[in-house]
């Protein structure tokens, strides 16, 4: 259902008229050596936010940092493989020592192993580990470090419209996941475990899971559900948690196909992450459209 509340757009005057952030505002972006993550880092750096570009591969990460330096932008770098709990631990220890506090976390890193018209679940475990367990573990490890005031801290999870709960055709699972009042972490974990066991048993096609990019869609449904839960748990505590689907974007994930560029998608993402505190919602799911309008579910 589309919201009747005013929707942020590119020309939203509020972003630039109430610049609440400064160079002391610290943002972390995962999976930022290319694609939408790199463009988000670039946008934050252009807007004067202190930003940590993270990537699972040091060489690829440093190359991305160099590309930004060539454009006159300075960013920090640290290796972070979100699918590896040890890497998350090492990163968080480094971050705590160097920066102490965090204002913005963009969980962007993700994988899909399918071509646009394929639907194999051969890599389902890696997809779930990278796209759901990784951001969840990282978020939990960073939660004590959010500054929370004077401005509201923010988590923006880059999810997908493929992770909309309506994609679930199994009505029992859909009703559990959609029930915001009763939803628990255990229920989300159970859904993911059930999917992985259906994959192992070879029964996943008949169990009402999403029809397109099934493993990826389940990972994003889980991340969307976790985001809603986290938003609810932190309501009124100075931490906002929202999701953003960048739309069909020209990156490696789509083999360069899409209706707009990573820079376009990141411009909207950065705007959402930087909404003025008084306009910042929590527990919302934003979707970018092909005309680069953005709506809120």
Ligand X SMILES: NC(=O)c1ccc[n+]([C@@H]2O[C@H](COP(=O)([O-])OP(=O)(O)OC[C@H]3O[C@@H](n4cnc5c(N)ncnc54)[C@H](OP(=O)(O)O)[C@@H]3O)[C@@H](O)[C@H]2O)c1
Q: Which residues in 66-85 contact ligand X (CB under 6 A)?
A: 80-83
Q: Which of 24, 76, 19, 39 is CA-nearest to residue 244? A: 39
For residues 106 and 184, the answer to whether their CB atoms sit within 8 Å is no
In sequence order, which ranges of the chain are alpha helices (DSSP H)?
13-17, 35-46, 58-69, 85-99, 124-128, 134-142, 171-178, 185-201, 214-233, 262-273
Contact between 264 and ligand X (CB under 6 A)? Answer: no
Angstrom distances, CA of residue 292 to CA of 16, 118, 268, 283, 295:
18, 27, 8, 22, 10
Contact between 132 and ligand X (CB under 6 A)? Answer: no
Choice among 216, 226, 244, 286 that is catalytic? 216
Contact between 130 and ligand X (CB under 6 A)? Answer: yes
Residue nearest to ligand X (CB): 35
Cα 175 → chain centroid? 24
Give me the least distance between CB of 218 and ligand X, in Å please.
13
Specify burial of residue 113 (Cβ count, 10 A radius: 0-12, 13-18, 19+).
Answer: middle
- Cis check for the bond before 150: say yes or no (omega within 30 of 0): yes
Contact between 253 and ligand X (CB under 6 A)? Answer: yes
Contact between 227 and ligand X (CB under 6 A)? Answer: no
Among the listed residues 15, 27, 29, 33, the single contact to ligand X using CB under 6 A: 33
What's the token pair of residue 39? Answer: 């463009």
Give me the least distance between CB of 17 and ligand X, in Å please.
29
For residues 30 and 107, the answer to whether their CB atoms sit within 8 Å is yes
d(CA 287, CA 256): 20
Binding residues for ligand X, rule CB under 6 A, total 32
Among the listed residues 56, 147, 154, 228, the single contact to ligand X using CB under 6 A: 56
Among the listed residues 50, 114, 139, 160, the single contact to ligand X using CB under 6 A: 160
Contact between 114 and ligand X (CB under 6 A)? Answer: no
Q: Is 16 a catalytic residue?
A: no
What's the token pair of residue 5? Answer: 């509340």
Among the listed residues 132, 248, 285, 286, the single contact to ligand X using CB under 6 A: 248
Give me the least distance between CB of 120 and ligand X, in Å please.
17
Which CB, 210 or 246, lies closer to ligand X? 246
Contact between 252 and ligand X (CB under 6 A)? Answer: yes
Residues in contact with ligand X by the rule CB under 6 A: 30-31, 33-37, 55-57, 60, 80-83, 108-111, 130, 158, 160, 245-246, 248-249, 251-254, 258, 262
Tell me which residues are annotated as active site: 216
């Amino acid at each position: 259902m589309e919201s009747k509340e005013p929707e942020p757009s590119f020309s939203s005057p509020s972003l630039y008229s109430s610049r609440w952030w400064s160079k002391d505002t610290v943002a972390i972006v995962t999976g930022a050596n290319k694609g939408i993550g790199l463009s988000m880092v670039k946008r934050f750096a252009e807007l004067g936010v202190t930003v940590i570009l993270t990537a699972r591969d040091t060489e690829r990460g440093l190359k991305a940092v160099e590309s930004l330096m060539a454009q006159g932008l300075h960013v920090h770098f640290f290796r972070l493989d979100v699918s590896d709990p040890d890497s998350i631990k090492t990163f968080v220890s480094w971050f705590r020592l160097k920066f102490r506090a965090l204002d913005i976390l963009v969980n962007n890193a993700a994988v899909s192993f399918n071509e646009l018209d394929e639907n194999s679940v051969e890599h389902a475990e890696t997809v779930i580990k990278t796209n759901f367990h990784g951001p969840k573990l990282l978020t939990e490890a960073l939660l004590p470090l959010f500054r929370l005031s004077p401005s509201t801290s923010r988590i923006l999870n880059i999810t997908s419209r493929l992770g909309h709960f309506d994609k679930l055709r199994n009505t029992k699972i859909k009703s559990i996941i959609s029930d915001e009042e009763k939803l628990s972490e255990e229920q989300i974990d159970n859904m993911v475990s059930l999917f992985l066991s259906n994959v192992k048993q070879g029964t996943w096609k008949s169990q009402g899971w999403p029809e397109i990019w099934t493993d990826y869609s389940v990972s994003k449904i889980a991340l969307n559900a976790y985001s809603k839960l986290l938003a609810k748990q932190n309501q009124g505590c100075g931490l906002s948690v929202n999701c953003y689907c960048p739309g069909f974007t020209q990156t490696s994930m789509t083999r360069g196909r899409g209706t707009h560029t990573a820079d376009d998608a990141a411009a909207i993402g950065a705007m959402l992450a930087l909404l003025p505190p008084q306009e910042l919602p929590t527990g919302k799911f934003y979707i970018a459209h092909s005309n680069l309008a953005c709506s809120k579910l």
